Structure 1
């Protein structure tokens, strides 16, 4: 049987007609499949090209909308020469031999330079006045609420509530007299509480009142007026349906160094204060919380006498920290962390540790919020050299993502006025992510992997029309 099969195969293959027919069928199949392959390749190419055109269109549309925000605006200020007579506070800060710097003049309430950075109430931003200035931010000017009173929400943060499509701005109410608890103590105001303001457009703010109040009678309470409440931040817990507030809690001497937690069923409060503690057993001063896309939340705080930052996840109810913690930016002495996320990368703005005096901001990036974090340099653009070296004479507190404008954010900062803390001003400026970082990175052999973070100085600016749907 085997030999018969072989003979038949040889006979068939040796027949010229059969060979031609077999060859023709193979050639036709090859041609058909080649044509199918070409058609599929052309189809896939057209789809990819179409997507590229859509991306280019979206990108160019985004650029046209945000181009004005990313213009580099220079600032040429004339600083009057220092006067012969100085205030006692300025002499104490500067000492008898040290010549005054611009920062010294900025901090000295008797200086003409100081007045340049804290303009009179006549120039206040008033949402009730319509006209050419409507919807424009003026960094450093007094900012009034819808009732015509200066907004009191310092060191704060913004919560966008998806259920009501409303923005809520929480911050320290410092509308009280500024004093020093003792001779060497920092300038302070008695705890009034946490203010809340609501807005639909991030410009016109309605006062919702003090949603977490100070305690006037119980001297042992964390919120007793003699203590310290700073940098309140609020996030919403999707599981419990509660709004959770975290804040820095301290005593007048800044030795308690703890975090405090409060909860509410409504974004406008009232919030119920729960307790304070030292997270992971470490001191905690400037802090913030961050809610990720997957609903997990994290605490980031300055620790070890402000020499490093710590980061760790919160429990599922957002009322405590887990046992997991990582040290980041070790020995870099950074504070005032403000976190945000873009295209899967975590970014953070921090400040140096110089008390009320402004200093140079730094931008950082990480693939994981737990680190390692890499430093990318000073994000400030425009103004002038002294503006960039002082974060426009302000300190970071929060970064707000702009709906409809991917890669565009609002950088929130405070321009502190230690001689009159209630008169501290808000510095809101456009922040974008894009381009190459300008400093070599520690963990990637000197090759920057992250996009640059840029904060643009503008004396006057506003959000593009239709920014929520751009």
Structure 2
């Protein structure tokens, strides 16, 4: 039996060496990104949570075939220590087999983001939800919670935020720049006033926890003409009614917000369906604004279409100085499961930012 034992040991060693050699040590944007099982990572429109030395990536699970953008499985979760190599943690939030459930199989469940609430010790997931069979009519925010970061998450509710509440305005805003539902002055304000009794539309979205522990929900509202930045309650599971309208009257989606040296940054996109368009970025010294529009942060070849992608999240890299990763999706609506991920470093030029294409890069581009 000894020769067989030797052969088995040799095979195990070769397998171990092969696995070691297959470990990724760099990002290659736009290529197939295998997980620990060798399968392309299935976490589209995703977001990140860093907890106890581990990054958790949550995103839309897509399937092959003609399902398109409908959610047939749920939200997938992956974990990583180094951001290059990802372990499949399974489905964090599963769609429901009950056709009457808000998150019924076949609904549209997009851009899931997870934050941790230290007071309740709950992980809270927010997402954009469209009810099954209704296209993009519902425009709701959905929320679920879990005791464990990778789930399973329990769906709580979906609704349109801030019903009956008027927006906040930066000090000194003239009255003629505030919404007046008696006499709306443009189409965007008309949509706001139309939705005021039942709550504002909530489509493409993100969540952000500030330095003071307050959490905010950022979402496209008013038929995507305006971004809302809305405060969440202490449990992070509902809205307080405090919110601001950002870049009102201009169609913006795919918001990704982060903070650097006391300045709030937000990157988004225009609204051209699944086709890419120029990214846009904004800054503010207060979360509620005023927000300043700065144009396209991307530079170089392909910048006019955000290198073929669309923003989903900006990830602060723990342990690195001034280190943020721009995360974008390269959508493939005819074969959604093949959607690729474009991760690129954010470069600071004073208080300005730039994003350039890189075929291959690693975290050494950032200072420690």
TM-score, length-scaled by structure 2? 0.82
Which residue does the alignment assign to 1:452?
A: 352
2:141 aligned with 1:259, yes or no? yes
Which residue does the alignment assign to 1:416?
A: 331
Which residue does the alignment assign to 1:240?
A: 120
Question: In the alignment, which of 383, 393, 398 is matched to residue 313 of structure 2?
Answer: 398
Q: Shift of the alpha carbon at 1:454? A: 1.0
Compare the two structures and name the one with the higher helix fraction: 1
Q: Distance in 2 between matches of 1:334 and 1:310?
A: 10
Which residue does the alignment assign to 1:346?
A: 264
Deviation string, structure 1 residues 59-94 (Cα, Å, up to 9, x no partner): xxxxxxxxxxxxxxxxxxxxxxxxxxxxxxxxxxxx
Q: How many pairs were matched up?
A: 313
**Contact 2:144–2:156 under 8 Å retained in 1:** yes
Task: For residue 324 of structure 1, give the secondary structure of its aligned residue in structure 2.
Answer: strand
Which residue does the alignment assign to 2:215?
A: 297
Question: In the alignment, which of 373, 376, 395 is matched to residue 291 of structure 2?
Answer: 373
Which residue does the alignment assign to 2:59?
A: 171
Q: Distance in 2 between matches of 1:406 and 1:332?
A: 34
2:96 aligned with 1:215, yes or no? yes
TM alignment of 1:112-261, pairs within 5 A = 128=19, 130=21, 134-161=24-51, 164-179=52-67, 187-216=68-97, 218-251=98-131, 252=133, 253-261=135-143
**Contact 1:177–1:189 under 8 Å retained in 2:** no
Q: Shift of the alpha carbon at 1:220? A: 1.1
**Contact 1:189–1:421 under 8 Å retained in 2:** no
Q: Distance in 1 between matches of 2:89 and 2:24?
A: 22
Q: Shift of the alpha carbon at 1:165? A: 1.3
Q: Shift of the alpha carbon at 1:372? A: 1.1
Q: Distance in 2 between matches of 1:134 and 1:275?
A: 39
Compare the two structures and name the one with the higher strand fraction: 2
Q: Distance in 1 between matches of 2:230 and 2:77?
A: 27
Q: Distance in 1 between matches of 2:118 and 2:347?
A: 29
Q: Distance in 2 between matches of 1:220 and 1:307?
A: 30
2:215 aligned with 1:325, yes or no? no
Task: For residue 303 of structure 2, give the secondary structure of its aligned residue in structure 1.
Answer: helix
Q: Distance in 1 between matches of 2:19 and 2:138?
A: 42
Runs of 5+ in structure 1 lacking a partner? 1-126, 180-186, 436-450
Q: Shift of the alpha carbon at 1:169? A: 0.4
TM-score, length-scaled by structure 1? 0.65
Q: Shift of the alpha carbon at 1:128? A: 4.2
Give the 4+ runs in structure 1 shifted more than 6 A.
none
Which residue does the alignment assign to 1:271?
A: 153
Does the C-alpha gap of structure 1 residues 239 and 190 become closer, same or farther in structure 2, counting only changes over 3 Å?
A: closer
Q: Distance in 2 between matches of 1:311 and 1:232?
A: 17
Which residue does the alignment assign to 1:109?
A: none
Runs of 5+ in structure 2 lacking a partner? 1-17, 163-198
> Highest CA radius of gyration, 1 or 2?
1
Question: In the alignment, which of 277, 291, 299 is matched to residue 359 of structure 1?
Answer: 277
2:165 aligned with 1:285, yes or no? no
Deviation string, structure 1 residues 332-383 (Cα, Å, up to 9, x no partner): 100000000000000000010000000000111000111111111211123x
Q: Shift of the alpha carbon at 1:129? A: 6.3
